[in-house]
Structure 1
Amino acid sequence: MDLDVAQIRAFVRAAEELHFGRAAAALSLSQQALSKRIARLESLLGTRLFLRGPGTVTLTDAGRRFLEPARRTVAAADAAVAAVTDTSRPLRVDVWGHLYAPMRTLAEVAHEAGTLTLGHGRDLPSVTQALLRGDIDAAFGRAHPPLHPALAHRLVRLEPVDAVLPTGHPLADRDALRPDDLRDSVLWTPGPLDRLDFLHRFADRFGITGRTAGVNLGLAHFLADVAADPRRFTLLPADVPLPDDTRGLRTVPLVDPTPLYAWSLLWRTGDRHPGLDRLTAACAAHARTGRWLEYTPSRDWLPEPP
C-alpha cells in the first residue's frame, strides 16, 4: 500500500507528545486536521493506532509496533528532500552539559565541518526530543543509556576528570588522589544527583555518601559554593578553564583509576545532511591526532566502557 508521509508525520508527532493539541501546534495544524490525518492512516492500515480517553491518549500495541518504522520513514523523506533542496543549509548542532564546557571540543573541529549554527540545549532529554523532531541535525554532550533507538551515536572524546577542592580541604595539599580517598568528603553537584548520570555513577562506584546539590547558575557561582565549605569537592574535566575570579580552590588529578568523561555526537538515523559527514570525519581525525579516545581499563574508569 502507498502511505502518505504527512499522515505518518502526524502520527509520529502525536505518538511522541501523547497529546493531539500539542502535536497539532508543533506541526502548525489545527487539531481537527491532525485528527483527520491520523484517522485516514488508521483506516488505510486497518487498525487503530491510538486509544483515546477523557484527557488521555495512549498507543495501541499496533501503534507501538508502527512507531519506529514510522520515524524512519519520516527521516528518510526529510533526507530525500534535503538532498536536492537543502544542501547549503548550515548544520544545526546543539550541545548540553554546559558546566563542563562542551564548546571547547566543538571549537577544535568546527572550522573543518563547514557552516554550523549552534543551539543551547538544557539536557540530554530535551536535545533528544529536538533531534527526533528534526529541529536540529546533531548534538554534542555526554550520552548515556538508554538512548532512543532512532538516534545514532559516536564516541568523540574521553577527558580525564580532576577533583576540585577548597584549599582548606584536608586533602587539598595532595599531588594526586584516588577516588576512594574522597569517601569522607561531600560531593557538591549542580542540581539533583539523579539527573546527573556521571556524578551519580561516580558517587555510587566509589562510595561517596556525602552528597549535596546546589543550583546551576554557571561555573563561577557553582565553584564559589564548593569553596564555601572545606568538606566539599566536585569533579570537572581536567581541561575546563576555571573562571579568573575563582579563589580558594585547588584542582587535584584523580588516579588509580582516573575517571574519564565521555563526549559523544548524536544524530537522527537517516539524517544525511552533508555537514554531518564532515563533522564526524573532523571528530575522528582529531581523536587520532589528539589521542582523544585513549582508554586503559586497568588505569581508567568509565561508567560505560566503550
Structure 2
Amino acid sequence: MSAYPHPQPHPSAVAERRPPKFVALAWAGLILGIVGVVGSPVIIVNNITAIAAAVGFVLGLIGFFGTRKIVAGIGVVLCAAAVVITVLVQKNVVDELDRISRDVGASFDAAPTDVGSAPSLPAPSPVDEIAQPETNERNYLPMNVGDEAWTGPVGDEGGGSGTSFTVDRIELDPGCDAYGLPPESGHTLVLHVRVATGDDQMSAMDAAGVLNPYNFVEIDSSGVSHRAEFGTCTAPEKALPMNFGVNQKYSGTIELVVPEASGTLALDPGTLINGPAGWEWTY
C-alpha cells in the first residue's frame, strides 16, 4: 500500500464530465422562440410562427430539466412572448376590420336615396289597356315609333306581371362615339328604348331575352328578310341593360347593323307561342 493518498478530482472537473442532457431541445426551443417573436407582427405568417412558438415552448420546458437551463429558459420566455404578441396583433386586425365594416355600412345607410335624375318612364300598363293592333301577313304586330308594346306571361289579363317597352326613336347612321367603329358595310340603326317591368321575375328575365340585338330582322323593299347584326359605333354605356329586375324602369339604346338605309325592322324573339311572332316598325 502506498504511503501517499490518491489525489481526489476537483468538484468542478466532475461537473464538467457530466453528460449533456436535453441540450438539443433547449436550443430548439430558443430558435423557435426567436422565429415566433420575429414572425408574430406579420399578419400573413404569424399563425404558422405561433404554432412553432407553441412547439418551442414545450421543447424549452423539457430542456429546462437538462444541462442548458439558461438557454431553455430564454427559449420558453421568447415562445410565450411570441404567442401573446400574435394574439394581440390578430385581435387588433379583427377590431380594425370590424370598424371598417361598420363605417362602410353607415356610409351606405346615409347615402341619399333621391333618384330624381333617373329617367321618367311610364309604369307598366295592364294588357287590356294597351291597344294592340292586329297582326299582319307575317304574323307581326305593326307598331309606330312611340307605341307601347307588351310582353308577359300567357293569360295575364291584368298585365301587372308583364313588361312594357317603347321604341321612342330610330336613329340612322349617327356619328360614332369615341373609340366606336362604323360598320364595314350596311347602315347603323340606333334604337332608343324605354322599358318598365312588372312584378314577375321570370317575365322580366324573358323580356331581357326578347330585347336582344340578335332578335331583330330587317325586311327590305322586296320583302327579303335579313338578320340584323350587333353594332359597335356607339359607346357601350349607352346600351340598354342586358338584365331586368322586377318593378323597375330602364332606358337605353340598341345598336344594329342592317343592309338597307330604309325599310321595315322586325323584332322576332322566336319564343312567343299561340300569338304574334313579334313586332315591326317602318323606318
Give the TM interval when normalised to the shorter protein: under 0.3
TM-score normalised over the length of structure 2: 0.21
The structure, 1 or 2, with the larger RCO (C-alpha pairs under 8 Å, 6+ apart) is: 1
TM-score, structure 1 normalization: 0.20
**Structure with the higher fraction of residues in helix conformation:** 1
Instruction: Point out the structure with max Rg over C-alpha.
Output: 2
